[in-house]
Amino acid sequence: MKIGLVACDILEPELELLIKDDPDFVHKDYVEFALHAYPEDMKEKLLEKVNALKGQVDAVLLGYAVCQSLGGFPEAVDVPTVMLDGDDCICVLLGAKDYTCEKKICAGTWFSSPGWAREGMDGLIKEMHLDCIEGMDPMIFADMLFESYERCLYIDTGVKNKADCDYLARSKEFAGQLRLRHDERKCDLTGLESAIRKVKELAKGQTS
């Protein structure tokens, strides 16, 4: 059984925790997270990457949720594909019920998974194009953007720090830069584990 992974690099810490030593995954491609800023371009690029695996793998795990433009993606590609269940990566990690609950606790919440914490302020500036005006400090726009935010919620998914990246410390640093309260909570990886089981079942069906 041969499985390909095409995933957003925001979820790389969690996916590597689950499949790093899995021999069924013969191809892994972590795609730059900032593509989210261009939903239609992101869709076209992902279609190209998945279709390029035709004949090389039995199935593909698309490490993306719906993310604005990816509804119906498995039906649009030439390789049997499983995608993540949720509106976005935070919904995948927390589950829809807990995601909604955390928003009710504080509507002005920035959700900081290890992947987002790793990207930090530089990632936010890149994602939101806050450096679009030459000579203007991007933090001016960041402060405006986060004016209604109250907290940064770090989601501890159980991944270990890398040698050059303490995820929790990065999350706290981000919160401090925007003067947000920093909270923490744990979550399991049920959503990702479910998708991995589904893609293995799909791949197995292709080879039987």
Q: What would the mean pLDDT of 109-135 be, rounded to a whole number?
A: 89
Decide if pLDDT at 43 tops 80.
yes
Domains plus CATH for the chain? 3-88+189-207 (3.40.50), 96-186 (no CATH)
Name which of 11, 30, 1, 5 is nearest 191 in CA terms: 11
What is the secondary structure of 160-174 as a DSSP string? PPBTTB-HHHHHHHH
- 26-38 per-residue burial string, b: 16 or more CB within 10 A, e: under 16: eebbbbebbbbee
Per-residue pLDDT band at 99 (split at 50, 70, 90) = very high
Residue spans of alpha helices (H) in the chain: 12-19, 39-51, 89-94, 96-105, 114-128, 138-145, 167-177, 190-207
Q: Is the Cβ–Cβ distance between 7 and 92 less than 8 Å?
A: no
Structure pTM? 0.91
Structure confidence by residue, pLDDT tens digits, 134-192: 778 889 989 998 999 999 999 999 999 988 899 999 999 999 999 999 999 999 999 99
Per-residue pLDDT band at 208 (split at 50, 70, 90) = low
